[in-house]
């Protein structure tokens, strides 16, 4: 390396391929994405860079994430955006209860808190956010959930129907960033 301020990073793609880029240690994530454009064959807006399990934000510097010479950064294709060119959501939220239930399959389940994408488990004690698990933020070792409650919930016909519906499960996984 010619400049001591330049760092070499290994970029690992989701298909297992790897390439190298050299950038300034003070570069932003967006500048790194631009450097990855040729090797990754994707424009910066379609890239997601991950370091130590964290998705890197374009406006942050590599230094802020403590990325150093020789580190490996993971490179994945970004999911297609659900917004139109005007910035409005492509499918505006419906206001009727029928449409709300269609958009939120948990809306009809009392005690589940309407949990879009499993974000909340509102009425289920001890499930609010997954806290005691490292990197999960809120479940506190299953707090108020005991094995009997879990068994009872799993025997509920509505829960069994949801779990057996492959399109529903795919939708749930795709709507929750922690499950992607």
Q: β-pairing, 6-13 with 47-51?
A: unpaired
Q: Assign residue 106 a region: left if phi > 0, alpha if psi is -120 to 50, beta otherwise?
A: alpha
How far apart CA 48 and CA 56 sit, in angstroms, is: 7
How does DSSP classify residue 152?
H
pLDDT value at position 119?
A: 45
The pLDDT profile of the chain, 180 residues, written as one tens digit per residue, is 456 689 999 999 989 899 999 999 999 999 999 999 999 999 999 999 999 999 999 999 999 999 999 999 999 998 866 543 444 444 444 444 444 444 445 544 444 444 444 444 444 444 444 444 454 444 444 556 788 888 888 888 777 777 888 887 888 888 888 776
30: closest CA among 3, 59, 9, 64?
A: 59
pLDDT value at position 166?
A: 81
CATH code reported for the domain at 6-77? 3.10.20.90
pLDDT value at position 72?
A: 95
Residue 156: φ, ψ to 5°: -65, 125
Cβ pair 166, 173 in contact under 8 A? no
Cβ pair 7, 21 in contact under 8 A? no
Contacts of 124 (CB under 8 A, 6+ apart): 111, 112, 113, 144, 145, 153
3-state SS assignment for residue 47: strand
pLDDT value at position 151?
A: 80
How far apart CA 13 and CA 40 sit, in angstroms, is: 8
Domain ranges of the chain: 6-77, 105-175
115, with CB counted inside 10 A (0-12, 13-18, 19+), is: buried
């Amino acid at each position: 390396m010619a400049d001591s301020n330049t760092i070499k990073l290994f970029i690992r793609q989701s298909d297992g391929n790897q390439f190298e880029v050299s950038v300034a240690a003070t570069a932003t994530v967006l500048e790194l994405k631009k450097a990855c454009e040729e090797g990754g064959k994707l424009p910066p807006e379609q890239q997601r860079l991950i370091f130590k399990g964290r998705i890197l934000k374009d406006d942050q510097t590599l230094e802020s994430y403590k990325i150093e010479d020789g580190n490996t950064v993971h490179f994945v294709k970004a999911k297609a955006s659900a917004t139109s060119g005007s910035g409005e959501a492509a499918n505006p939220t419906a206001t009727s209860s029928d449409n709300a239930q269609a958009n939120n399959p948990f809306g009809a389940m009392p005690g589940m808190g309407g949990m879009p994408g499993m974000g909340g488990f509102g009425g289920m004690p001890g499930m609010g956010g997954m806290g005691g698990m490292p990197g999960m933020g809120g479940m506190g070792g299953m707090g108020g959930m005991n094995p009997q409650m879990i068994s009872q919930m799993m025997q509920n016909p509505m829960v069994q129907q949801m779990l057996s519906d492959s399109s529903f499960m795919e939708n749930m996984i795709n709507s929750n960033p922690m499950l992607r």
